[in-house]
Structure 1
Amino acid sequence: GFNPIQAMTLLDDEMDFYIFDIHDYAGKKQTHVRRLKGRVIGKNGKTKHLLEELTDSYISVYGHTISIIANVIDMDIVKKAIDKLLNGSKHATVYRYVETNMKKIRLQQGF
């Protein structure tokens, strides 16, 4: 679930949508699904909010899925970051990956 305002951003041609199925990473065990959801959400939502802020995206963790709404240009970075978290990479490593690659993109765009 995204709120309606976030969902409406998908009407923009520059926005993209992607869904991860946590079962692809955790199998069917609910304890593993909960653990991986926790890795993406972070303590008090810190990880999710930081990724959203760094990548100017919206991330929703619901049930056994993680959904992303992001700019087409930034989507690959957000997807790779979440994939790294789901595969067990350290949070600091993922943050560094995102910061480095977002800087590169912003420089290419002239920001």
Structure 2
Amino acid sequence: MTTTEIKITANRIPVLIGKGGKTKYGIEKKTGTKLTIDSEDGLVGIEGEDAIAVLRTTEMVRAINRGFSPERAATIFEDEDMMLDILDLSNVCSTPKQMERLRGRIIGKEGRAREQIEDMSGAILSVQGKTVAIIGMIDQVKNARTAVEMLVEGLPHATVFSFLDRKKKEAKYDMLDYYY
């Protein structure tokens, strides 16, 4: 039996549990793990027979804690190469106003920049609090992370999207080389 614990923020506990416990039970059924949620201190216990299932469930809970919906967080289970990466922006911002501006650059007007990064990288993003969480395959996460880091450095959105477009084309050529 493998057991692990993770602490989540109070406002994400209802998301993890879901209406009438539906989300929690869905996760347990899908993963073959058992979740124990302490609503007082935000401690989530995850246990199961399969160590890898426990590890991936822990990543899913971390993703939900970082702002992903349970449905989007569940994409971690679509492929064994899926991963979660979390960028901490607190070291580049000294004021809440700076953090808000930076989040605004990453999300973009009406969420368009974030959507564009997702479409071009194939990864999914969640911008919440002082972090940007990314779920995807290793290359997708790497490209999305680089794009976010470019925006953090202050590069224009057009430059970032050109970079992602180039990476997307390279991936297509790599696929063609693989098949031929």
Q: Secondary structure of 1:33's partner?
A: helix
Q: Runs in 1 of length 4+ with deviation above 2 angstroms?
A: none
Q: Which protein is bigger by CA-based radius of gyration? A: 2
Counterpart of 1:99 in structure 2 is 165
- The more displaced of 71-80 and 44-53 is 71-80
Could you tell me the TM-score, scaled by structure 2's length?
0.58
Percent identity among equivalent residues? 29
Aligned pairs, how many?
A: 110
The separation in 2 between residues aligned to 1:44 and 1:78, in whole angstroms, is: 19
The separation in 1 between residues aligned to 2:172 and 2:138, in whole angstroms, is: 13
The separation in 2 between residues aligned to 1:68 and 1:31, in whole angstroms, is: 23
The separation in 1 between residues aligned to 2:89 and 2:170, in whole angstroms, is: 29
Q: Give how far 1:106 is off.
A: 2.0
Residue identity matched to 1:71: M
Residue identity matched to 1:97: F
Could you tell me the TM-score, scaled by structure 1's length?
0.92
The separation in 1 between residues aligned to 2:175 and 2:82, in whole angstroms, is: 16
- The more displaced of 42-51 and 73-82 is 73-82
RMSD over equivalenced CA pairs, Å: 1.3
Name structure 2 gaps, 5 residues minimum.
1-66
- Identify which of 57, 82, 87 aligns with 1:20: 87
RCO (CA 8 Å, sep 6+): is it higher in 1 or 2? 1
Is the Cα–Cα contact under 8 Å of residues 77 and 98 in structure 1 kept in the other structure?
A: yes
The separation in 2 between residues aligned to 1:94 and 1:9, in whole angstroms, is: 25
Equivalent residues in 2 for 1:45-84, closer than 5 Å:
45-84=111-150
Structure number with higher helix proportion:
1
